[in-house]
Structure 1
Amino acid sequence: MIFRIAKFMNLYGKLSDAELVDLLKSGDQTAFTEIFNRFQSLLYIFAYKRTGNREEAKDLIHELFLMLWEKRSELHIPSGLPAYLFTVLRNRIFDLYKRKKVSQRYIETFQKYLDHNHNTTDHLIRHNNLSELISREIAALPCKMREVFELSRKTNLTRKEIALTLNLSEQTVKSHMHHALKILKGRLGYMLAFVFIIYP
């Protein structure tokens, strides 16, 4: 019996992230378990590095996966599962900072940064649909290259962490980032600089 269960789980381990998400949406608990096993360690490291507190990091991961299960039928993950999970976790960490008020100066500084960039680029975004244009060009990147780029820009993971998350070598991650920036520069020209404002 145990052997059959292990063999069954091994089959799920060979599924892609997108396939697991489709199964999760249908209520497949084994798919949920595989997603948890696949990402929880890296997510915990990410949370612990940013909170410095093991219990808070564990709580954040627990809340993240609880949300993932409870809202499974409503999930919309256009950028790939890793980018989705790390982005949600990053936002929850930011919410934790706000609740605890231990990083008020950081939050105020971050808000000033957002306000400043909003003031200096808002008219461009309104009149030229810059944000939509950049999003379309990023979405048009080859699949794995786009995943690497979005993990780098949206979650601030290190090259090594991205490599572990996507099961790639660090050199491959570096190559994907290099080519992504080269492609975007060719398509966006001087507007490439705004990628680092819209995706800080």
Structure 2
Amino acid sequence: MQDLSAYDDHELMDLIKRDNQVAFETLFDRYGAVLISHTHRKLLDMAAAEDVVQDIFIKLWERRKEINCDNIAGYLFTSARHMVLNVIKHRQVIVRYEKDFKHFVENHPINSTEHIIQKKELEAILMAEIDKLSPRMRQVFILSRQENLSHQQIADRLGISKFTVNDHIKASLRILKTKIGLILLLILWSNHFNG
């Protein structure tokens, strides 16, 4: 593999615009860890920080021909700031849903046997939908959500890139949200197999 570490950001972006993956990986190596550290300080969640940085670089690659920027570091850190704000807003929505659900459960008590049966039925629905995912997507999703492996651990185990892992997880969540709904998915994952 060609060593492009001596190239400046502008030269790397010129190569990236011509679909040079080595230049892209060099740029990721240059800024990835710093961006993850910066994002982690804001989110206090390493997995979320890694997801944000992966998203930034995925979007950079997808929009490489359109991006005209003299300061790529500034572009990356500005993108990180915007995405961190989006994650924080999303977390606030989830907290609101969880609070509403908790309030509902507290004010609508159900028989514990009935609750256990319903929970098992809901978990069965979730597992049936997970089983419908493509084999690779299902494998990545289970390693992430049930075995709690990091994106890098999954990538290493399966011999794929972290970008591919991220894409599979996002696609899986999008499919599951469409099939069973966001609220149900949040409820099931917050209680998944805990009782």
Normalising by structure 1, what TM-score?
Answer: 0.45
Bigger share in helix: 1
Who wins on radius of gyration, i.e. which is larger?
2
Normalising by structure 2, what TM-score?
Answer: 0.46
